[in-house]
Structure 1
């Protein structure tokens, strides 16, 4: 008996050029992400008319087919009925060339491919951690931070983030087509307890860049080179393990080509792990830590410009983040934010960018009210708004906001207004977890609820602007004509 999504799966594969044209297939919360041998074989116009397809776009080497919250069902139907592997791995002979891709698109492709598979659990862990932290705040007092319930809930929420380098070691190994267990081992070396707790168990041998914001302590040396451990360590970090696994993939490939077959199975992982971890602790980690410090200095300098600094930065980030989401380019910013949170305990960038889902929610509710007598538009608006409330914004964006350009402009302006307030108040985000209504708990931290209140002020101002502007500009007849 044919499944509900089997025909959609068949139509999509046919219109991307057939299964022979598919190099790899992955998916995120709302999009099927194809890498094709020949991009010209994909019929974008016909794909857009397939049942459940909301939007089709080419981003770098990825053909993204936006299908909303049915993505996992359609993905499974493709795997089950079309004979396509969803592992994202292909044999070297089948790889497409990427020499004509810009550095930015290659970076975006790498980061999204590594982070997207973690999104579901990353979000779930973030929600659990955020809600637990919020309920345990002193001025909330619902959850006792010394209780067993708090201990277990926080272990669930924080454990995933704490050991994130191990998880990203796995997904990075898949992306760079290297041994997944080597990726896991590299990630584990970054969060090995003896290294994480080195500041508590060993005396400081010296400091590099002493007296500056780049100051880092070292507790031992290797071949006379300081083994530097950043103050925050590498727990929860993103970029060090990604770069390390990339280097490991090159070392492993060299070993396989130069070590005799009898010894290859043993010596390849030994050499790869030793060289990669040595290089990571001596060079990669400290360099990337310094880069993060530079970024943090720039962000703080911008936010600390008297009066207008946070206002302008917040407006740009709050309004611009939705545009990045539109093109699937937001993962670079999310990766940066995760790294800054791991290093500093908070982040300003996503604090402002996090206004987007709430602005979308208010706009969706306004549209639902404005189109309450229009059944055709209402059938689009209500499920898209429900999805937006839960933190998945693509259905509303692609089905209504982008086609009705005025509404999309209002969405951007609403993000600018709310983001400006959040930036002006120097609001901090302490974790990247839930979105939509659940996003409020991302601001629980710093020993109190001050940042939650700042975020709510930004939401209120941006939300009121968005609702009023949407109700004023929405036209039922125009919506019926455009959304036909």
Structure 2
């Protein structure tokens, strides 16, 4: 399911340089630990200023984004929205063959469509732009629609759409672990001339009725080939490979997989998948007929929200199906304003902000936004500030309502931003009015986005007084020493996250004994699987982290022996952990152990003991 941390996760991915810049990712009890290909690509100051991020540390070849107590949930969200499962497995030293988290059907569908479309979106957009330009040139009389030049170039532009099944067959095969050429053959079979030229009877196969989709064939279709390859991947890996002898697998496996899948696609998979796509398309088209204002407003307002959760992909196949069956679409028309509203907001922020980092980021976001790439604008500027993002949603909703009310249609899939304009030209009637309306409304969105930020954007001073979650009471309490050893001020330890008190106030102990005891009654809120760090929420609401050693997460649990687990209720003085001091030192790590109150801002003051040494049970920190 979508997580409330998905938006934060996308901001993090965007500002560490994008997922292609991530070599590996793991986490400890307080921070996400990235290994980046190029740390200079990361927008460190943007991350530091983002709500939900405490600070950023670059040390020891790792790029660490400090989150606090919610780091496991944020980590899961980063992995999910960025599709970084393999990079997470590499970081943990695990294989990619382990059990996968179960997804509900809708989230699984979104994941599949995203994986299948992403590899060739650039080419698909380029072909759409070419078709749109040709339609525009024909409409204004520059190029005759029946000329050789027009038709030769149109063949190039239309090829990616006409032959969608074989293209998607290849990309889907990667997703479903099917040999790519088998996916290609399945797609080619669905657009073979015998099935598309209309000159042959296609009614029965082995005497069993064959039902073609409403469009008459599978050219330009999306869901049928994805469903077919999904079945083929399962069938080959779970059934065929297990029953075919090794001596004939080279040809017998693809023969059985492709033949049986093709037949089932004609009988069942194709008609059912086509029917689902047509029902969804009918829903949106009917909604547009009933009330274009409502249709446009809903899609326009929610498109960006769907985008940050990756759910916008659910509408793309419906849009392509509409164009294949009816020759036009309104779904992607309704989201036209989002690109320009975002770009306008970036211009307004650039003019209004006093933040040098934002000023430096804004020009690139503006240029890419005009071209239809809004990730830098959303994740670098508007979403981290929240209010600008939702203002652009309102603008987009109004624009969507206006576009649909005025009857603008898309006649081919094109690029985004300014490159989407040719899509609104009707090549058959040579009508350019839709494009003119789209240009006017997009420019109004650009201006509105800018003006709203000039009026309402606030330059906020950095405020470190807000903790991520101040849930403690103000009654105060006294925490006892969890470890025997020498007491040091937290500001004197080497780790910048703790010494800067970014995680909260507290003290550090240099342990003389490898045992950690509960400093108060409470619940184990976090216990990292490597055993090096413990989170405890006391009965009075204090949130305590006990972190044994510096960077000891790298030991991967060696030298640590947990005595409790996350969720356990403990009493003051209960043994929580045993650790091998000598082993940790010999491995080259400091054993300095911070004891930190992560919700320090919930208290009037936090007073550490004056004692130079403590034993288990001595008063260590007083919370007022």
TM-score, with normalisation over the residues of structure 2?
0.60
Instruction: Give the distance between the partners of 1:175 and 1:185, measured in 2 at CA.
Output: 16
Check 1:452–1:132 CA distance in 2 against 1; reply closer, same or farther (3 A cut): same
C-alpha deviation, 1:51, in angstroms: 3.6
Cα distance, 1:196 vs structure 2: 0.9
Q: Does the CA-based 8 Å contact 1:314-1:422 persist in structure 2?
A: yes
Corresponding residue of 1:285 = 270
Q: Does 1:411 align with 2:396?
A: no
- Whether 1:94 and 2:96 are equivalent positions in the alignment is yes
Matched, 1:256 2:241: yes
Secondary structure, counterpart of 1:236 in structure 2: coil
Deviation at 1:256, TM superposition (A): 1.0
**How has the CA–CA distance of structure 1 residues 31 and 315 changed in structure 2, closer, same or farther, with 3 Å as cutoff?**
farther
Question: How many residues end up aligned between the 2 structures?
Answer: 413
| Distance in 1 separating the partners of 2:416 and 2:437 | 17
Relative to 1, partners in 2 of residues 1:40 and 1:101: Cα closer, same or farther, differing over 3 Å? farther
Q: Which residue does 1:436 correspond to in 2?
A: 417
Q: How do 1:208-357 residues align onto structure 2 when only pairs under 5 Å count?
A: 219-232=202-215, 233-253=217-237, 254-305=239-290, 309-357=291-339
Q: 1:134 to 1:30 in 2, by over 3 A?
A: farther
1:254-299 C-alpha deviation (Å, 9 max, x unpaired): 1110011122222211111111111111222222222223223322
Q: Which has the higher contact order (CA 8 A, sep 6+)?
A: 1
Distance in 1 between residues matched to 2:77 and 2:133, nearest whole Å: 35
Q: Secondary structure at the match of 1:402?
A: helix
1:202 alignment partner in structure 2: 200
**CA apart distance, 1:36:** 8.1
Rg larger in 1 or in 2?
2
Q: Which runs of 4+ in 1 moved over 4 A?
A: 33-43, 45-50, 54-61, 373-376, 479-482
Partner of 1:184: 184
Distance 1:403 1:93 in 2: 35
Q: CA deviation at 1:60?
A: 8.1
How far residue 404 of structure 1 moved from its aligned partner, in angstroms, is 1.8
Please, which runs of 5 or more residues in structure 2 have no aligned partner?
1-11, 48-64, 66-73, 465-624
Q: What is the Cα deviation at residue 452 of structure 1?
A: 1.8
- Once the two structures are superposed, what CA deviation does each residue of 1:311-349 show, in whole Å capped at 9, x if it has no partner? 112111111111122223322222332233223222221
Question: How far is 1:473 from its partner?
Answer: 1.0
Contact 1:60 1:101 in 2 (8 A): no
Stretch of structure 1 that moved more, 374-383 or 273-282 = 374-383
Structure 1: which 5+ residue stretches go unaligned?
Answer: 1-14, 17-28, 67-77, 85-91, 204-218
Question: How far apart, in 2, do the equivalents of 1:30 and 1:315 lie?
Answer: 31
Specify the alignment match of 2:467 in structure 1: none
Q: Provide the rounded CA distance (Å) in 2 between the counterparts of 1:171 and 1:243.
A: 13
Higher strand share: 2
Q: Distance in 2 between matches of 1:238 and 1:59?
A: 28
My pick for the range that moved more, 375-384 or 256-265, is 375-384
The answer on whether the counterparts of 1:356 and 1:415 sit within 8 Å (CA) in structure 2 is yes
| Residues 391 and 438 in structure 1, CA contact (< 8 A), matched pair in contact too | yes
User: Does the C-alpha gap of structure 1 residues 95 and 62 become closer, same or farther in structure 2, counting only changes over 3 Å?
Assistant: farther
The 5-angstrom pairing of residues 22-37 of structure 1 reads 31-32=19-20
Matched, 1:474 2:457: yes
Supply the distance in 2 between the matched residues of 1:299 and 1:35 (Cα, whole angstroms).
Answer: 41
In 2, the alpha carbon distance for the partners of 1:310 and 1:44 equals: 45
Measure, in 2, the Cα distance between the counterparts of 1:243 and 1:142: 42
270-279 or 353-362: bigger deviation = 353-362
In structure 2, the residue corresponding to 1:357 is in which secondary structure?
helix
Contact 1:407 1:474 (8 Å CA) reproduced? yes
Structure 1 residues 59, 102: closer, same or farther in 2, change over 3 A?
farther
Aligned to 2:172: 172
Q: CA deviation at 1:413?
A: 0.7
- Distance (Å, rounded) in 2 between the aligned partners of 1:404 and 1:133: 40
Whole-angstrom distance in 2 between the partners of 1:42 and 1:270? 52
Structure 1 position 62 matched with structure 2 position 80: yes
Q: Deviations over 1:167-193 (max 9, x none)?
A: 110111111001111100000011111
RMSD (CA atoms): 3.5
Q: Which residue of 2 aligns with 1:7?
A: none
- Please state if 1:126 is matched with 2:151: no
Q: 1:376 to 1:63 in 2, by over 3 A?
A: closer
Structure 1 residue 398 and structure 2 residue 416: aligned? Answer: no
Q: Which has the higher helix share?
A: 1
SS in 2 for 1:230: coil
Give the whole-Å Cα distance in 1 for the aligned partners of 2:328 and 2:338: 19
